[in-house]
């Protein structure tokens, strides 16, 4: 087909670029925009797979490597930066500087290790073994919306760090998780989750006053996103029809 792998590779590059932009936004003190870029990276990640299949060509080794490198930036390093760097509410977070670094590094390391495995062996599996990195990134964002910025449930570094640690471990636990392919029962749920996350973050950019209609819209959208993530983590393993192979880390 015309274009070969180029359109898919372009989407892969876009994924990596928005991930790098997310890191810059965290360092610049705007974690909400960083979260939005991470979610957009999920869209580009799905697009590169769609374009690759549409090309009619067999997947290339370069494409797998480039895809994993981009995912490592967007779903590994960028979320880790959100855990480690706190330019807002710095006073609240200052006593947690060391554990933030430890858990942030662990999050990035587990995500990258998983992606390395995917590049060489995991791509052969029909489903994931352990939660995939895009879903882990979404889970972290939902956690941050409620317990860090804008703190719908109150600022709690302890909850954020414990939750981030659990999400990081979920990427390598020996549990099957489904790919969100066409026909998957969780596909509509995950699409709604991503859309709700985008809506919440966009509304929060305008800093709505607590209790206002826009604030409640952002809260409701965040709740929808959190429920969608919980559905994937709690229901997802039961939707996998055939058990994956015994090798761990078989997904992105």
At the topology level, CATH places domain 6-239 in 1.20.120
pLDDT recorded at residue 89: 86
- pLDDT tens digits, 156-190: 999 999 999 999 999 999 888 988 877 788 989 99
Binned at pLDDT 50, 70 and 90, residue 8 comes out as: confident
Rounded Cα gap, residues 110 and 72, in angstroms: 10
Rounded Cα gap, residues 32 and 106, in angstroms: 22
pLDDT recorded at residue 123: 58
Please report, for the chain, the start and end positions of each structural domain, with discontinuous segments joined by +: 6-239
32: nearest Cα among 193, 157, 169, 197: 197
Binned at pLDDT 50, 70 and 90, residue 84 comes out as: very high
- Mean pLDDT of the 45-52 span: 79
- Mean pLDDT of the 7-29 span: 92
- pLDDT tens digits, 205-252: 999 999 999 999 999 999 999 999 999 999 999 988 755 444 444 556
- Contact of 5 with 60, CB cutoff 8 Å: yes
Using the predicted structure, report yes or no on whether residue 52 has a pLDDT greater than 80. Answer: no
Most confident of 1-10, 92-101, 116-125: 92-101
- Contact of 9 with 49, CB cutoff 8 Å: no
- CB 114: neighbour CB atoms within 10 A? 30
- Contact of 215 with 208, CB cutoff 8 Å: yes
- Contact of 34 with 22, CB cutoff 8 Å: yes
pLDDT recorded at residue 4: 56
249: nearest Cα among 69, 110, 114, 109: 114
- Contact of 40 with 17, CB cutoff 8 Å: no
Binned at pLDDT 50, 70 and 90, residue 144 comes out as: very high
Do you find a cis peptide bond into 90, omega within 30 degrees of 0?
no
pLDDT recorded at residue 56: 62
pLDDT recorded at residue 2: 47
Give the length of the chain.
Answer: 252
- Find tokens 């996998």 and name the residue: 240
pLDDT recorded at residue 252: 64
- pLDDT tens digits, 91-113: 999 999 999 999 999 999 999 99
Distances, alpha carbon 246 to alpha carbons 87, 122, 164, 175, in Å: 42, 11, 26, 10
Using the predicted structure, report yes or no on whether residue 31 has a pLDDT greater than 90. Answer: yes
- Contact of 49 with 71, CB cutoff 8 Å: no
- pLDDT tens digits, 189-203: 999 999 999 999 999
42: nearest Cα among 166, 235, 174, 197: 197
Rounded Cα gap, residues 227 and 136, in angstroms: 14
- Mean pLDDT of the 3-7 span: 64
222: nearest Cα among 79, 39, 75, 25: 39
Q: Which residues contact 12 (CB under 8 A, 6 or more apart)?
A: 44, 48, 63, 66, 67, 70
Rounded Cα gap, residues 130 and 5, in angstroms: 28
């Amino acid at each position: 087909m015309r274009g070969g792998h180029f359109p898919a590779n372009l989407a892969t590059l876009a994924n990596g670029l928005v991930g790098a932009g997310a890191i810059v936004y965290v360092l610049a003190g705007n974690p909400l925009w960083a979260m939005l870029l991470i979610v957009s990276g999920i869209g580009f990640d799905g697009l590169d797979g769609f374009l690759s299949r549409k090309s009619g060509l067999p997947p290339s080794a370069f494409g797998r490597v480039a895809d994993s490198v981009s995912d490592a930036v967007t779903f590994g390093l960028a979320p880790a930066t959100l855990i480690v760097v706190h330019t807002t509410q710095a006073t609240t977070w200052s006593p947690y500087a060391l554990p933030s670094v430890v858990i942030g590094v662990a999050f990035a390391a587990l995500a990258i290790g998983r992606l390395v495995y995917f590049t060489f062996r995991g791509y052969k599996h029909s489903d994931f073994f352990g939660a995939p990195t895009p879903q882990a990134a979404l889970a972290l964002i939902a956690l941050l919306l409620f317990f860090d910025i804008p703190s719908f449930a109150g600022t709690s570094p302890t909850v954020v760090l414990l939750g981030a640690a659990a999400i990081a471990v979920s990427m390598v636990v020996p549990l099957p998780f489904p790919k969100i392919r066409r026909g998957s029962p969780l596909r509509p749920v995950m699409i709604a989750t991503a859309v709700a996350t985008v809506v919440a973050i966009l509304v929060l950019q305008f800093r709505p006053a607590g209790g206002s209609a826009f604030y409640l819209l952002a809260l409701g959208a965040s709740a929808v996103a959190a429920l969608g993530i919980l559905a994937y983590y709690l229901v997802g393993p039961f939707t996998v029809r055939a058990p994956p192979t015994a090798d761990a880390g078989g997904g992105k």
